Amino acid sequence: MRDQFEICIVDDNHRVCESIEILLKNQGHQTQTANSGQKALQILKNDTIDLALLDMNLPDMQGLEIMDFIRAHCPETQMIVITGVATIDLAVEALRRGAFDFLRKPFEYEELINRVKNALHKKRLTAENRAINGQLRQSEDRYQFLVQSSPDIIFTLDDQGRFTFINQAVETLLGYRSEDLIGEHYTQIVYEDDLDTAKYLFHERRTGTRSNRGTEFRLKSLKKTAEPGTFEVNYLPVEMKATGLYDTGSSRNGSTFLGSYGVARDISERKRLEAQFNQALRMKSLGSLAGGIAHNFNNLLMSIQGNISLILAQTQSSAPGYNRLKSIEHYVDEASALTGQLLGFARGGKYNLETLDMNQVLKKSAELFSQTKREIMVSYCLADTLKPIGGDQNQLRQALLNLFVNAWQAMPDGGELVLSTSNQTLEERQARQHALPPGEYVTICIADTGVGMDETTQERIFEPFFSSREVDQGTGLGLASVYGIVKNHKGSIEVHSQPNEGSTFTLRFPASQNKLSIAAEKEVPKGLSGGSETILVVDDQEMVLDVTKACLQELGYEVCTSQSGREAIDVFSSHQKNIDLILLDLIMPEMGGKETFESLQKIDPGVKVLISSGYSLDGAARGVLEKGALGFIQKPFKLNELSQKIHTILQN
Using 50, 70 and 90 to split pLDDT, how confident is the model at 521?
A: very low
Using 50, 70 and 90 to split pLDDT, how confident is the model at 430?
A: confident
Alpha carbons 346 and 334: distance in angstroms, whole number = 19
Average pLDDT of the segment spanning 44-57 = 90
Residues forming beta bridges with residue 423, ordered by sequence position: 442
Does pLDDT of 524 surpass 60?
no
Q: Is 400 helix (H, G, I), strand (E, B) or coil?
A: helix
Using an 8 Å Cβ cutoff, are 508 and 492 in contact? yes
pLDDT tens-digit map of 222-246: 865 444 544 555 889 999 988 888 8
The DSSP letter of residue 387 is P
Using an 8 Å Cβ cutoff, are 44 and 61 in contact? no
Helix-strand-coil split of the chain, %, nearest 5: 45, 25, 30
Buried b (16+ CB within 10 A) or exposed e, 76-115: ebbbbbbbeeeeeebbebbeebebbbbbeeeeeeeebeeb
Question: Exposed, middle or buried, 247 (CB in 10 Å: 0-12/13-18/19+)?
Answer: exposed
Quote the strand ranges of 2-140, DSSP E. Answer: 6-10, 30-34, 51-55, 78-83, 101-104
The DSSP letter of residue 380 is E
Q: Is 377 helix (H, G, I), strand (E, B) or coil?
A: strand
Does pLDDT of 248 surpass 50?
yes
Using an 8 Å Cβ cutoff, are 488 and 350 in contact? yes
The separation between CA 139 and the C-alpha centre of its own chain, rounded to angstroms, equals 35
Q: Which residue, among 562, 552, 607, 622, has the nearest Cα to 588 in the 3D structure?
A: 562
Using an 8 Å Cβ cutoff, are 160 and 168 in contact? no
pLDDT tens-digit map of 268-308: 888 887 777 777 777 666 666 666 777 777 778 888 888 88
The separation between CA 78 and the C-alpha centre of its own chain, rounded to angstroms, equals 64
Question: Could you tell me what percent of the chain has a pLDDT over 90?
Answer: 32
Using an 8 Å Cβ cutoff, are 394 and 365 in contact? no
Does pLDDT of 205 surpass 60?
no
pLDDT tens-digit map of 132-152: 888 888 888 888 888 888 999
Amino acid at 423: N
Alpha carbons 544 and 633: distance in angstroms, whole number = 14
H or E segment at 241? Answer: strand 231-247
Q: How far apart are the first and last CA of the chain?
A: 101
Average pLDDT of the segment spanning 601-614 = 90
Note the pLDDT of residue 638. 84
- pTM of the prediction? 0.49
